[in-house]
Structure 1
Amino acid sequence: MNIWGAALTLLVSTYMGEASCPGVAVAITKGDQVVAVQGFGHDSTGAPITENTKMAIASASKSFTALAVRQLADAGRIDLDRPVFDSRVTARQLLAHKSGISDRTLPEKSLKQPSSPAEAVERAREALQQAVPDNEFRYTNTNYHLAARLVEVASGENFNAYLKKHVFEPLNMKDTVAIDVTPRDLPPDYRKGYGYAYGFSISLTEPDRFVTGSDGVITTAADMAKWLAAQPKLAPQDGMGWEADQQGRLRHSGIWFTGTAGQLLTVSGYGIAVMANSGVTLGNEGTYGLENGIADVVEGRTPPEPESYRLLTDLVLAALTLLSVGLGIRALRRPRRFHKAWQVLRFVPLGILLALPTLLGLLYGGGRDITFFQLAHYSLPLVVWLGVSSVMNLSVAVARWRR
């Protein structure tokens, strides 16, 4: 059965246009049956996106890691409620992001990146020993790096090899792999995703990051359909690589700087997976809205019109950049005297720029960690505006000081 029709095509096409997304792949299941798999748009080589195009699912990978831990727990090789790695943290708390560890206690993107789960445990050793689980949800990739190592210790197998043997192969996910480090370990036939700035989609290489257990699964829409169709037997749970939303649906989103993805299990039995080759940016936080819209269509509701503030956000930042240049040139050409206290304000843009990774993490990521290089992927126009404003204001301050 294939339920794909004009309404779904219009929804996905409209979303791609609004979000400036070059390529999208979608899989839909009903219970244990695959009902639709389709690709739209193109990859960074210009080739069409198909059901067999390899794409990243980013943090949706966590549901695979959680399944591996659950398998070993069912086999009696992992005790979900026993502390691990000489800490007070249990496996269950790692999977539920309730370990007490956060990006604030261990800034996982800013620190030197490990190359294996064993190295990830060593990097997190101090944070682990100091962690006090308090039942508070604090999302961090570190929890799943540690869970990947737990799988290795319990199984005696390399984590990625374990997924291949015990998850991917049994489900016949023949085009799915798990990797350790981006972009080093990406498959040869994986195509770069896109960043976005000033209305243009730009092919980019994913920044260097350790992704084992947290966001390292590379797959296809066809394979994700098989994964979704297996969920009735796998019995996914909230807090085990999946999160319950306000409608009682299980889901997990995924964001890379060059791709976004998400998976959704509805109460009515539909499974929906979406993969897009355009990364997370200011004004585009992923495929969450498209997943909801597809759920509306297949369940007989009219979805809201897809919308994105991506272009508007960048145009506003571009206007602010030009305004900063204009005001700076005017101030340099027509110097006026200001009280010294007011001159201090000229250092504000520089202060904001230097603090931007921390501020952005606090305002939009609940304390998530991000580097300056990754910040430029997330919003180059924001970095350019603050950079230009800082240079112009400092130039004016120096010129007035010299006068």
Structure 2
Amino acid sequence: MITRILALAGAVTLAASPTPTTPLGPPAGVDASAIDTVVREYRDATGLPGAAVTVTRGSTVVHAAGYGHTPAGDPITAHTPMAVASVSKSFTALAVMQLVEAGRVALDGPVQAYLPEFTMADPRAGQITVRQLLNQTSGMSDTTYRSFSRRPVPRSLQEAVATMRTARLAADPGTRWEYHNPNFQVAARLVEVVSGRSFDDYLRQQVFGPLGMTDSRTANVASDLPPSARGHLMILGMAVAVPEPPAFGNGSGGVLSSAYDMAAWLIAHGNQGRGRNGTAIISPAGLTTLHTPSTVSGSYALGWSIATSASGAPVIEHSGDLFTSTAYQALLPASGYGVAVMANTGLAHGDASALIARIIALLEGTPVPSTGTPLLVIDGVLLALASVTALLAGWGVLRARRWAAGRRAWLWTVARLLPLLLPLLLFSSIHHVVSVLYRGRDVAWIQVTYLYPTFMVLLGTAMVGCIAVLVARLTGLARVGREVRAPKHPTGTARGRTTTNHMA
């Protein structure tokens, strides 16, 4: 019965339902108040604890603001640094392109020419070009190098690159696209070695500083995140503050920024590489290169992706996902708008992408997507199943001796006991199952608890309950066995001697 409940829970967890849309007329002058309304309605509908939002058009900031609070309870403002996660890849790609335009790096030159320390247990690694790192066609893969579950966690870009020495490629360089964070960790380390500065210093001096992004910096590992950049899980509709699980992210996901600073970043990309103050950080040709997808993927460029909006307009974008926060940036070349969102809930909830979709719909006058099936319902179902599982396990423990007394054939008894080990097996190997569902992406066990917290509560309850039933049944079998083997004494015997009552 408990295993059937787990099967039902799996179906509930993975269930998805169509999301209807709400018609919205053409925008009649989108301003800050209209954007505020969209964000407020979304937060009211989902319980999103905090977000930072910025909208630009050309070289103008339409809106930059913070909403809600950090896990520590502090209000989020336009200057609150938050994690942008994999949006960081766009910053790394631009840093490399600056070195290309300075003549210090050849985009199609081999990585090892600039970063000799980058070696792998595969001779094809010498063929990987700088461009292939940035468009993720290097042949590196989560299937051959477990970047999330690697232990110990590197503390620097140099250490991160060093851990790749024993890895192999999954494909010839330039032949297959695969999203793989270490591509950008190698690229960031290349920036360090070529420039002679730490990656954080380089961005401060060459990108953040010229654009006036004074709130921005980088972090190496999850424990480096400041309180403002930490996030939540949503359980039963309630925000639960939790630390980000251990991982290394600089270069691929380590940038911290604010709504105010992201406005400056978007303006530079929508203003021919020039910031609000007119300072150029890259040429128009360099921007075009960054935004041009590879022929291998057809949609992934250099730290950016190419897509279309609901109206069919082109969008240049990139998402960012941590386990406790998400981010999204989008450029709409046809209208000149740029949008960025940082939300302090994890990738299981997708709040940044959902919120930015609603803002883009507002800007384009297209139907506003609904919030879809609320996770509150799924959480409620899974926790209810966990309660039922606990009750069934308790009943199984109480009936264990009666169950044992009815067992006769040992083979049948073993067959009935073995399924009780299945929850333990699944609980200990769940990250491998999730990795398969995520098409081979590396997933650490602890990260699964962030992705599916209530399912893991159910699975943990099932594991403990089944072990308790198993122990109780084995104990019952042992008692029954002792009773069967115990010698049976006739009435009126003591210590094996028969006593006779003589009558006078």
- Please say whether Structure 1 and Structure 2 have the same fold, judged by a TM-score greater than 0.5: yes
* Partner-residue secondary structure (3-state), 1:140: coil
Q: Distance in 1 between matches of 2:170 and 2:435?
A: 22
Deviation at 1:287, TM superposition (A): 1.5
Residue 304 (structure 2) aligns with = 242
* Partner-residue secondary structure (3-state), 1:209: coil
Q: Distance in 2 between matches of 1:42 and 1:251?
A: 26
Please tell me the residue identity of whatever aligns with 2:381: V
Deviation at 1:206, TM superposition (A): 2.3
- The CA deviation string for residues 145-203 of structure 1, in whole angstroms up to 9 with x for no partner, is 1111111122222111111111111111111111222223x35x735322333332122
Q: Distance in 1 between matches of 2:174 and 2:381?
A: 41
Whether contact under 8 Å (2:144, 2:168) holds in the other structure is no
Residue 121 (structure 1) aligns with = 161
Residue 212 (structure 2) aligns with = 172
Whether contact under 8 Å (1:27, 1:36) holds in the other structure is yes
Q: Distance in 2 between matches of 1:355 and 1:159?
A: 36
1:61 equivalent among 88, 91, 106? 88
- The CA deviation string for residues 184-233 of structure 1, in whole angstroms up to 9 with x for no partner, is 3x35x735322333332122222332221011111110000010011032
Distance change in 2, residues 1:92/1:342 (3 Å): farther
Give me the TM-score of the superposition, normalised by structure 1.
0.91
* Partner-residue secondary structure (3-state), 1:169: helix
Name the stretch that deviates more: 159-168 or 25-34. Answer: 25-34
1:209 equivalent among 229, 247, 252? 247
Residue 106 (structure 1) aligns with = 145
* Partner-residue secondary structure (3-state), 1:273: strand
Deviation at 1:261, TM superposition (A): 0.8
Residue 42 (structure 1) aligns with = 69
Residue 377 (structure 1) aligns with = 450
Deviation at 1:312, TM superposition (A): 2.1
Distance change in 2, residues 1:129/1:359 (3 Å): closer
Whether contact under 8 Å (1:15, 1:307) holds in the other structure is no
Please tell me the residue identity of whatever aligns with 2:134: L
Whether contact under 8 Å (2:87, 2:328) holds in the other structure is yes
Whether contact under 8 Å (2:32, 2:62) holds in the other structure is no
* Partner-residue secondary structure (3-state), 2:340: strand
Whether contact under 8 Å (1:19, 1:308) holds in the other structure is no
* Partner-residue secondary structure (3-state), 2:111: coil
Give me the TM-score of the superposition, normalised by structure 2.
0.74
Please tell me the residue identity of whatever aligns with 1:21: L
Residues 219-234 of structure 1 correspond to what in structure 2 (within 5 A)? 219-232=257-270, 233-234=272-273
Distance change in 2, residues 1:131/1:302 (3 Å): closer
Give the count of matched residue pairs: 397
Name the stretch that deviates more: 57-66 or 194-203. Answer: 194-203
1:307 is aligned to 2:372: yes
Deviation at 1:59, TM superposition (A): 0.8
Residues 131-142 of structure 1 correspond to what in structure 2 (within 5 A)? 132-133=172-173, 135-142=175-182
Residue 28 (structure 1) aligns with = 55
Q: Distance in 2 between matches of 1:16 and 1:151?
A: 39
Residues 322-341 of structure 1 correspond to what in structure 2 (within 5 A)? 322-335=387-400, 336=403, 339=412, 340-341=414-415
Name the stretch that deviates more: 300-309 or 17-26. Answer: 300-309
Name the stretch that deviates more: 286-295 or 240-249. Answer: 240-249
* Partner-residue secondary structure (3-state), 1:100: coil
Distance change in 2, residues 1:121/1:294 (3 Å): same
Name the stretch that deviates more: 93-102 or 8-17. Answer: 8-17
Distance change in 2, residues 1:9/1:328 (3 Å): same
Give the number of the structure whose alpha-carbon radius of gyration is greater. Answer: 2
- The CA deviation string for residues 5-58 of structure 1, in whole angstroms up to 9 with x for no partner, is 554333212322343311111100112321111221122233322111111111
Please tell me the residue identity of whatever aligns with 1:179: A
1:274 is aligned to 2:274: no
- The CA deviation string for residues 114-165 of structure 1, in whole angstroms up to 9 with x for no partner, is 1221111110122257763253222121111111111112222211111111
Residue 359 (structure 1) aligns with = 433
* Partner-residue secondary structure (3-state), 1:183: helix
1:146 equivalent among 186, 194, 201? 186
Residues 385-396 of structure 1 correspond to what in structure 2 (within 5 A)? 385-396=458-469
Distance change in 2, residues 1:152/1:265 (3 Å): same
Please tell me the residue identity of whatever aligns with 1:245: A
Residue 74 (structure 1) aligns with = 101
- The CA deviation string for residues 272-329 of structure 1, in whole angstroms up to 9 with x for no partner, is 1001112223xx1342121111111012223122335322222122112112112112
Whether contact under 8 Å (1:89, 1:128) holds in the other structure is no
Q: CA RMSD in A?
A: 2.2
Whether contact under 8 Å (1:98, 1:136) holds in the other structure is yes
* Partner-residue secondary structure (3-state), 2:167: helix
Structure 1 residue runs of 5 or longer lacking an equivalent are: none
Name the stretch that deviates more: 246-255 or 127-136. Answer: 127-136
Please tell me the residue identity of whatever aligns with 1:94: L
Whether contact under 8 Å (1:19, 1:307) holds in the other structure is no
- The CA deviation string for residues 45-104 of structure 1, in whole angstroms up to 9 with x for no partner, is 333221111111111111000001111112222122222235222111111122121222
Whether contact under 8 Å (1:254, 1:286) holds in the other structure is no
